[in-house]
Structure 1
């Protein structure tokens, strides 16, 4: 059955387009036109603008395009959406917003305390793993999916936990303490390990876990979060299986979602790990070269002094 039956509004979320355009305009006003209002500022870098625009495009794709509608039909698409929302989008935002803007944000009175606590590496890593695992407990997951308010609040908290988890790796603020490259490598590996049990439970479950993806009545109620009620009431639907591709089953959809979440996480973390390792290698060899040059200079000066005597 085609997705077009849900209507253009459900497929393309025009309201989100307006929000993204507004955020983009505000971003360029702050970083270009109002830049000199900040005590410490720098010209906006091309790379920062590109990262921010990529963040906005990513946000629209995962929350405004048909992917968002599909995430309410296929658990596979839900997990793909979660992977990009929690693991990629925070990184793009951190790298896209100039460090001097982040400096003002993280030093704001209330925000300073929150950042100090929740961006501690141990707290950030375990906090994200806990929130992700909690979200995907069947009873909690189905409750959240059936209530628009709960869904919005919990998704935002989950996104914040992903943001705090990414901050120690990407922290761009120049006068804030930075995690050493070797510690970053251990931190990335720890995060990959901590999220594995939640994915494993989803992948190796012997039966469908989430009523909002296998129970027709619960599914229809969950669909109200992304489809206008008037449109939904005019359709005769029994359950999400009407939209499953090929011979996919509900259990197969659930298992595929768990596998894809883990694969996407490994790809994103693998790229970050490679960049961190390369920087660590560069720093180590750079330090060695400086030490060699310094030692050679001292030896030369000592030799020169001995010849003079």
Structure 2
């Protein structure tokens, strides 16, 4: 498949935004349980606003992939059957809850409503729970846009959903660690530890996905596509003298060597390198190193997402392989 840069930005930006919000609310929950020191409302508000800006950036990037952006609202009309429609609905819902959570902390609307045992329930806690559920639903909706496509075997796997969830949360917690380090906040160790755990879990999941896809055998061949069983059948032309929508949108046009280089690049920059950098940042109390860890991982995630799209072999390319 052709990796559209706007979709790469959409999926990586909103993944990091969701992950950062989950990190902020996780920090608040740990503080409520007295496992961490309670932070000021400004800490949670600023972190959530940063998460919201990433979600907004992803939404803005998605419009560059639309042929008629003014009709984007119609994408929500098929929510009963389309994962894309569900994503279109859940994304603004998540953004609204993240914004409300940030505003609650910003305005100090954190007075307890009631108590359940030792737990003080306030507006920020309720919005945090709802925002968490919406963020997890958005991860599923975004991933299922691709995992639900049965004829693209590389995508049609539960590992697609797992990868989107783990990679997004890993980048979000890595950003939370960088954010804490930049403010000189003691939570950098907490967020950094979770970032390492999630990154290692994502490495296992993504490696399993790569191994699975490497063993796939195409269900269709040139012979089965046209109903001719001859073993030496070769396509010499696509039936047209130039490119077309099909050759532009359903194949990336890059060599197998390029794909191998991109795969090697993201395997290094998404997994081991950020782990080393965030560990050094914590040991040296260096905020620039913590920020570098996030930037390196995010660049690697963009390469990973490019590879995710490029790896998928659309069956229609059987008819256009002489150009593709």
Smaller-chain TM-score bracket:
0.3 to 0.5
- TM-score w.r.t. the length of structure 1 is 0.32
State which structure, 1 or 2, has the greater radius of gyration over its C-alpha atoms. 1
- TM-score w.r.t. the length of structure 2 is 0.31
